[in-house]
Amino acid sequence: MLVVRQHEGGKIVSEQNIVSLQSSIQKYHECCSDEQIIQVFLNTYVRTHYTRRNYSNAIEHFRQCINYKPLNNVYWQDIEFYKLALEEGVCSKSRKPLSPATVASLIAPIRSLYNWGNEPNIGFFSHNPAISVQLAPVPINSKHHYLTKREVTKLLAQLKKQGLRDYLIGLSLVLLGLRVSELVNIEWRHFHTDPLETSIWLNVVKGKGNKSREVKVPQSLWLLFQKLKHEEKVDPQSKLFPITVRQVERLIQKVREQKGIEKKVTPHWLRHTNATLALLNGASLQQVQETLGHTQITTTQRYLHTVEQLKKAAPDFVEDYLKDIL
């Protein structure tokens, strides 16, 4: 007996048609190569160019290590063995054991690929082999990744010597707490005033997860931006810093070496410095969260541990109490 179903629009759809449609979709999925599936994933799931590049490299590295086994034939054991090979250095490019954080960053794109491809509405994969893979806890090593006022002064002084643009790159990272990928995506048209025209704000349009947020621009920084705009006679539609993420990283590394700063400073250290200095000088946790663009307040709370350590600690209270006998 032929079963029919009526949709809200009044169309009569037979069971045969539904089965035929499902069969067509299945055939389409089967004829897609792994390369095509990965390309669709990167184009639809991953938003920013920087993340897309990292995801592409991580997935390609995984495929090399499993000898390009078809993605639909991969099981949790394959990903588990890959994870162990990374931890032991067998499958790492440097042939050295990788840290839990690095292993997690290489497994994350694979997990995202299978989570996406296994969704019922997408259906590229019949199962999700990544769902059972367990990762080692990632220690929070960034709590000491900040610069002192003296170190910030040395860094910015050298950048200033090199020119206004270099100085503004460093100053923007320190004052605005931006991710380096957000910095290189700023366009002049992303700046605007508040309704009362008393302050300038930056609309960060390509933040993490493709989320946008508003960051207040200090007056001193805005005046320097205007000076740069006047000196270089830039197009209002152009980027503030026509530079790549890697170039910014090299710039900060070079200046660190020139000034003899022993800490292995990266642009992200300047973001940590922004959060630490803001909390030390009276900013609320919510204000720092909004500036940095953290989705969860718990991410921002990590900085509180550093701030509390920098303030008066338990030994200081004991010293105060015993001062008269010391």
- Mean pLDDT, consecutive 10-residue stretches, the chain (326 aa), reads 46 53 53 90 82 91 95 94 92 85 90 92 91 76 75 94 96 94 93 88 81 91 92 82 94 94 91 89 87 82 71 72 72
Residues whose CB falls within 8 Å of the CB of residue 289, separated by 6 or more in sequence, listed in order: 297, 299, 300
Tell me which residues are annotated as active site: 179, 208, 268, 271, 294, 303
CB 63 within 8 A of CB 34: yes
- Reduce the DSSP state of residue 14 to 3 states and report it: strand
- What pLDDT sits at residue 309? 67
- What pLDDT sits at residue 18? 52
- What pLDDT sits at residue 3? 45
Structure tokens at 90: 């067998």
Residues whose CB falls within 8 Å of the CB of residue 312, separated by 6 or more in sequence, listed in order: none
Structure tokens at 304: 């509180």
- Choose among 153, 182, 170, 267: nearest CA to 224: 170
- What pLDDT sits at residue 4? 44
- Choose among 227, 175, 164, 228: nearest CA to 202: 175
- What pLDDT sits at residue 77? 94
- Reduce the DSSP state of residue 236 to 3 states and report it: coil
Maximum distance among all Cα pairs of the chain, rounded to whole angstroms: 99
pTM over 0.95: no
Residue with tokens 């690095």: 102
Q: Where are the domains of the chain?
A: 1-31, 35-139, 143-310
Please state, in angstroms and rounded to a whole number, the distance separating the CA atoms of residues 264 and 217.
27
Record: fold of 35-139: DNA polymerase; domain 1 (1.10.150)
- What pLDDT sits at residue 144? 65
Q: 304 vs 92, 150, 208, 267, CA distance in Å?
A: 34, 21, 22, 21
Helices (H), 164-296: 164-176, 180-183, 219-232, 245-258, 267-280, 285-292
CATH number of 143-310: 1.10.443.10
